[in-house]
Structure 1
């Protein structure tokens, strides 16, 4: 009996199929040969195995079953422009776990539109034409972070607009249109967690209005206390910097990424975006900890019951300093060692005024009695290049819906269509960066083969070691986060009678404002160090009148988020950023 008859009884692969399969691997099998007959048999046996798995029903891991919520049924809607003037909401809902009480009780949260929330669409900021059946899937699962936030008493108010496929650092590539900065509509709020940045910052804008510090009266819509962002190269920290809030990319592997659409496990991170440093610490404590599913987590990742009490530890540290008379504008940072990363001020595109604001913010630590020194990490200037080459080849792999090499939960409900002409036509003038990723990966393979990515991975270890060595001398490294204040939304995104969808053929108008935005952020995605953007002042916009926030990035040793929180909290004793 043949192998085929053991499986299906009838061959499904022809000799032409065998020829094509061999050609795809760069070789030929002599036609009519014994070899061809054998591999034809093997191909049919393998195809029968494929069909056996293809016929199985989709499996939904019971560990990701949606949390029971008040009211039972999960309902959602897409808010109109009157309710959503900043275009920061993807979908709105109200989800609160039944009888849940915890540290986030009474707090409202939005999650980036690449995070699975059971019963809600998973939009990814992209056209539904890029997905199976031309529809955004309704998620049958709750991401682990969603489960944990609901269990801690939080109320999830909806999903926040994100940039197209999470592949842009500004806020005008989403399929739903531009996301406006809450401080100054018409200007970018940063990406790719653009809606998260806008929604969290609404509370600060409203407070500024109540206190008379902001006289503008444009509509903002409903905001939230906190948000769950995603970060592969700066996509939490940049919108936080542009929006004047706190955005933490935690240590790689500290928070499980299970149930969140990936770009590359090497660089995937999720983390809190909040109005205060205390809320960032509180939210991290809820979200962190091993989940038994995510391969990004390692033996270094703490079990849930071993996650530090970041908020409590910060409170205790402040109390101890207050007890000894140090919690003052003269002594709050005493004992902290601050490093100003020299090379971070030499990156291309850094606005001199932004550099001056960050330097002044860093120098404040001297008056707070910290030890402040300039630290040089020469390899930092190559960090963005190392990140690009190390991560780029695998990104098309995930955009195309392929699973990673290590076992993980692959979100079977999310099935992208094959990358083809429709992909290019849909994205080239909406988010050219998403097309460029494919072009880059193909160029690398065609010209260099896999050796270049392997080399870049070895330099990731070198880069991590370089930062580690610097962090032996200091507790944190400080860098600029956003190179400029939020730029004006490109004219080519404006809706006109001739251009109803709001995007023209001026492709470079979209690309140019984002060039260089991640030069100080992306290297910490490959090295895994925790990095947070904190607001430290105002910068003037270039076009017209107005001002927008400037962020300073604080980087610590891996697994040392506690020092990031301490440094930021001590800085605030010298005065809040909004008053600068």
Structure 2
């Protein structure tokens, strides 16, 4: 990949200038994957033959001003997003051999924009996890330290970009699953406003939380990719009809006079000292550019993780009922009647974390527990939404850390689910409130592991998030630093 640029924007320029063809670029991408993915383990399936055909078509169309926006650009896709004629497993034995007959809307939009789908990347099974250790097939490793996790559930999506295997990828974010791996891998990751990007063709986990979003090396690339995948979709009843047409128009604009809320709850000792310092450095930078920063309170964020795990597990319990061993997916061979087909198929094909969340969700929806758990969680969710609405009456963005720690060692937390769930406290509230949030690179800890800082904005204000993140990126080089990965000989 050394002769080829690494970002979408630079690749577009190189293609337009005739410095290389898409076929050459895509071949180099597959060479890079072949040389490094035995170490990283980002991919569950590759799409080489179809990708090279798409690259040939991109070269035939050309790269003039009227060319599709991502013409000839290689992109990776998380394996819970349906791809026609390309196996989609959601990293579960339940869907081990499932080949979709249609593309998810976001994939169709990528293809319409000329993008080349290079393959499907690893994740926690059914997007339930924070480390990509919960995949049924393999563990993905963090390119900055291959003994550490890449985060999750979009760990493969983040690792493949951080390893410079592709310039960008799509992930999904139900409770932080784009932003947390972005932080762990030194990337820009955006969770869009709920309903901004279609969920049609995305394997459902928590239907009132799930959103598809981009992981990229730069803010500009992130905004470009979002502009391609966003848009109203009649196939998705939660899709927002009237949306902004662009999200990049504020990149490069001054942030002078803009107002930043800094919740005191985000300064908790649960956040590592290195990350607290990085957030302070970002705050000082924004202040030096004329932004106004004030300490505020988001009093109900302390309940965010509890509320999230009750509601999301309940929705997962409902959504995963469709995997019954009858219509598609895994069917147990050790079953003699209908009940055994249901029970044995699910027992054999679902992993432990998925089973745990199904049981939690089913319990909270049961007649004896509904009022005590699910109803109360839904009420607290409403209060959290109101907290954010009130803040956005006076502030443009909310600043805080993305994660409580940098990436930790593989196996370090998987046996302590409570500790892992609590670590999501900084990201789940954006999903509960349906607002957009971005994580961007803001430094490294004492072990040279990336740190991400997070910004929230009001609904449909992604352009403001990009404005702030780009202002920081323009005067820092954290996004330019990359891990050293030894290539296979």
| Aligned partners of 2:140 and 2:150 also within 8 Å | yes
Write the mapping of 1:53-92 to structure 2, written as runs, cut at 5 A.
83-92=37-46
> Which of 142, 145, 149 in structure 2 is aligned with 1:184?
145
In structure 1, how many angstroms separate the alpha carbons of the residues matched to 2:145 and 2:275? 18
After TM superposition, give the deviation of residue 423 of structure 1 in Å: 4.4
2:426 aligns to what? 520
1:490 aligns to what? 411
- For 1:208-230, what per-residue CA distance to the aligned partner results, in whole angstroms no more than 9, with x for missing partners? xxxxxxxxxxxxxxx11111101
In structure 2, how many angstroms separate the alpha carbons of the residues matched to 1:163 and 1:289? 27
> Which of 246, 250, 256 in structure 2 is aligned with 1:314?
250
After TM superposition, give the deviation of residue 426 of structure 1 in Å: 5.9
> Which of 206, 217, 220 in structure 2 is aligned with 1:275?
217
2:382 aligns to what? 461
| Aligned partners of 2:172 and 2:213 also within 8 Å | yes
In structure 1, how many angstroms separate the alpha carbons of the residues matched to 2:457 and 2:479? 25
In structure 2, relative to structure 1, the CA distance for the partners of 1:82 and 1:275 (3 Å cut) is closer
Q: Does 1:350 align with 2:275?
A: no
After TM superposition, give the deviation of residue 291 of structure 1 in Å: 1.2
In structure 1, how many angstroms separate the alpha carbons of the residues matched to 2:130 and 2:143? 17
After TM superposition, give the deviation of residue 310 of structure 1 in Å: 1.6
Q: Does 1:150 align with 2:150?
A: no
After TM superposition, give the deviation of residue 456 of structure 1 in Å: 2.2
Q: Does 1:436 align with 2:356?
A: yes
SS of residue paired to 2:163: helix
Q: Does 1:337 align with 2:259?
A: yes
Structure with greater contact order relative to length (CA < 8 Å, sep ≥ 6): 2
1:530 aligns to what? 436
In structure 2, how many angstroms separate the alpha carbons of the residues matched to 1:267 and 1:468? 18
After TM superposition, give the deviation of residue 415 of structure 1 in Å: 7.2
| Aligned partners of 2:301 and 2:425 also within 8 Å | no
In structure 2, relative to structure 1, the CA distance for the partners of 1:380 and 1:82 (3 Å cut) is closer
| Aligned partners of 1:399 and 1:416 also within 8 Å | no
- TM-score normalised over the length of structure 1: 0.69
In structure 1, how many angstroms separate the alpha carbons of the residues matched to 2:263 and 2:331? 41
Q: Does 1:361 align with 2:276?
A: no
SS of residue paired to 1:156: strand
Q: Does 1:166 align with 2:127?
A: yes
Deviates more, 1:160-169 or 1:389-398: 389-398
In structure 2, how many angstroms separate the alpha carbons of the residues matched to 1:388 and 1:272? 24
Write the mapping of 1:114-263 to structure 2, written as runs, cut at 5 A.
114-127=80-93, 130-131=94-95, 135-203=96-164, 223-263=165-205
In structure 1, how many angstroms separate the alpha carbons of the residues matched to 2:415 and 2:206? 27
| Aligned partners of 1:160 and 1:195 also within 8 Å | yes
In structure 2, relative to structure 1, the CA distance for the partners of 1:80 and 1:510 (3 Å cut) is farther
> Which of 531, 549, 554 in structure 1 is aligned with 2:455?
554
Q: Which runs of 5+ in 2 are unaligned?
A: 1-22, 24-29, 62-66, 333-340, 482-489
Equivalences, count: 428
- For 1:69-127, what per-residue CA distance to the aligned partner results, in whole angstroms no more than 9, with x for missing partners? x9xxxxx9xx8796532000111114328456312123210000011111111111112
> Which of 265, 287, 302 in structure 1 is aligned with 2:229?
287
RMSD of aligned Cα (Å): 2.7
Deviates more, 1:383-392 or 1:363-372: 383-392
Q: Which runs of 5+ in 1 are unaligned?
A: 1-69, 71-75, 204-222, 322-331, 404-411, 492-506, 541-545
In structure 2, relative to structure 1, the CA distance for the partners of 1:479 and 1:447 (3 Å cut) is farther
In structure 2, how many angstroms separate the alpha carbons of the residues matched to 1:535 and 1:419? 45
After TM superposition, give the deviation of residue 421 of structure 1 in Å: 5.6
- TM-score normalised over the length of structure 2: 0.81
> Which of 314, 336, 343 in structure 2 is aligned with 1:420?
343
SS of residue paired to 1:509: coil
> Which of 441, 455, 477 in structure 2 is aligned with 1:576?
477
SS of residue paired to 1:358: helix
In structure 2, how many angstroms separate the alpha carbons of the residues matched to 1:414 and 1:470? 45
After TM superposition, give the deviation of residue 367 of structure 1 in Å: 1.3
In structure 2, how many angstroms separate the alpha carbons of the residues matched to 1:445 and 1:238? 29
After TM superposition, give the deviation of residue 175 of structure 1 in Å: 1.8
In structure 2, how many angstroms separate the alpha carbons of the residues matched to 1:157 and 1:377? 42
| Aligned partners of 1:339 and 1:372 also within 8 Å | yes
In structure 2, how many angstroms separate the alpha carbons of the residues matched to 1:457 and 1:510? 26
In structure 1, how many angstroms separate the alpha carbons of the residues matched to 2:342 and 2:369? 21
In structure 2, how many angstroms separate the alpha carbons of the residues matched to 1:290 and 1:415? 33
In structure 2, relative to structure 1, the CA distance for the partners of 1:416 and 1:460 (3 Å cut) is farther
In structure 1, how many angstroms separate the alpha carbons of the residues matched to 2:104 and 2:366? 37
In structure 2, how many angstroms separate the alpha carbons of the residues matched to 1:363 and 1:239? 25
Q: Does 1:539 align with 2:462?
A: no
